[in-house]
Chains A and B, each alone.
Chain A
Amino acid sequence: MSEAVLTQPAVEKASRSPGAVAHIWTIAKRELAGYFGSPIAYVFIVIFLLLSGFFTFMVAGFFDRGEANLETFFLWHPWLYLFLVPAIGMRMWSEERRMGTIELLLTMPITPWQAIVGKFLASWLVLGLALALTFPVVITVNYLGNPDNGVILAGYIGSFLLAGTYLSISAMTSALTRNQVISFILSVVICLFLVLVGYPPVTNLLVEWASPWLVQAVSAFSVMTHFEGLRRGVLDSRDIVYFLSVIGFSLFTTSVILRSHRAG
Chain B
Amino acid sequence: MIRVQDLKKFFGPMKAVDGLSFTVDKGEVLGFLGPNGAGKSTTMRMITGFIPPTEGSVIVGGFDVVEEPLRAKALIGYLPENAPAYAEMSVKNFLSFVAELRGLRGQAKKAAVERVIEMCFLGSVAHQSVDTLSKGYKHRTCFAQSIIHDPQVLIMDEPTEGLDPNQKHEVRTIIRRMGETKAIIFSTHILEEVEAVCSRAIIIDRGRIVANGTPVELKQRSQQAGAVRVRFADGDATIAEKLSRLELVERIVRPDEGESGLRVFPKNRAAAGELARSIGDLAARECWTLEELHTEEGRLDDVFRNITLPDTRQTV
Ranked nearest first, the 6 interchain pairs of A and B with the lowest CB-CB distance are A17-B103, A100-B84, A14-B74, A2-B62, A109-B74, A103-B80
Determine if A9 and B102 form an interchain contact, defined as CB atoms under 8 angstroms apart: no
Instruction: Give complex CA distance A2, B26 in Å.
Output: 13
For the side of the interface on B, what is the size category?
Answer: 35 or more
Instruction: Pick the most buried of B62, B93, B150: most chain A CB atoms within 10 A of its CB.
Output: B62
Determine if B150 and A262 form an interchain contact, defined as CB atoms under 8 angstroms apart: no
26 contacts between A and B (CB under 8 A): A2-B61, A2-B62, A4-B26, A5-B61, A5-B62, A5-B75, A10-B74, A11-B61, A14-B103, A17-B103, A26-B100, A34-B86, A34-B88, A37-B88, A100-B81, A103-B84, A104-B80, A104-B98, A106-B50, A107-B73, A108-B102, A109-B103, A262-B50, A262-B51, A264-B11, A264-B16
Asked if B78 is at the interface (CB within 8 A of a chain A CB), the reply is yes
Q: Given A13-B149, A26-B100, A26-B101, check contact A33 B93 (CB 8 Å).
A: yes
Determine if A109 and B102 form an interchain contact, defined as CB atoms under 8 angstroms apart: yes
Asked if A1 is at the interface (CB within 8 A of a chain B CB), the reply is yes
Instruction: Give complex CA distance A38, B88 in Å.
Output: 7
Judged by DSSP, the binding face of B is: loop
| Interface contact tally, CB-CB below 8 A | 112
Contacts of A8 in B (CB 8 A): 152
Contacts of A109 in B (CB 8 A): 70-71, 73-74, 101-103
Binary CB contact string for chain A from 1 to 45 against chain B (1 if under 8 A, 0 otherwise): 110110011110110111000010011011001100110000000
Q: Given A10-B151, A104-B84, check contact A262 B52 (CB 8 Å).
A: yes
Total contacting residues, chain A, CB less than 8 A: 36
Instruction: Give min CB distance, A178 to chain B, whole Å.
Output: 13
Determine if B74 and A103 form an interchain contact, defined as CB atoms under 8 angstroms apart: no
Contacts of A108 in B (CB 8 A): 73, 98, 101-102
Contacts of B85 in A (CB 8 A): 101, 104
Instruction: Give complex CA distance A159, B86 in Å.
Output: 31
Instruction: Give complex CA distance A10, B70 in Å.
Output: 13
